[in-house]
Amino acid sequence: MKPPEPRTFGPVTQTDVVRFAGAGGDFNPLHHDPEHARAAGFDAPIAMGQLTAGLLAAWLTDWCGVERLRRFEVRFTAPLHLGDTVILSGSITSVEDGVAHLDLAATGFSSTLVTGTALVAVD
């Protein structure tokens, strides 16, 4: 089994955040209100963590097919800022009993945004 090719997304725009908010119902002012974001310690609004996780999940299932995905777990490690470009990547760490184990990452301009693992059924 060949590992998935990395994918680049972005730069992330306010429109991306607004579209995701509409789809997921997350209207936290941290994602659209500059004053609220500054009060929370950020220079500007940040994207939802679930947006980053969703990009990683979509990239993964484009590679393996949603029907093969057995487990997907993520850990949020840094915020996604507007203007950042996200690199989605992963590696197969082992294959046991017809299941590939993968380590995943979504990396932004200066830091890893999300790390994760997945189990994928293989032939």
CATH numbers and ranges of domains, the chain: 7-12+47-121 (3.10.129.10)
Q: Taking the C-alpha atoms of 36, 40, 45 and 47 in order, what is their torsion angle to the nearest 10 degrees?
A: -130
pLDDT, residue 110, reads: 82
CB atoms within 10 A of CB 25: 7
Residue 123: pLDDT over 90: no
Secondary structure class of 38 (helix, strand, coil): helix
Give the residue-averaged pLDDT of 38-51.
95
pLDDT, residue 19, reads: 95
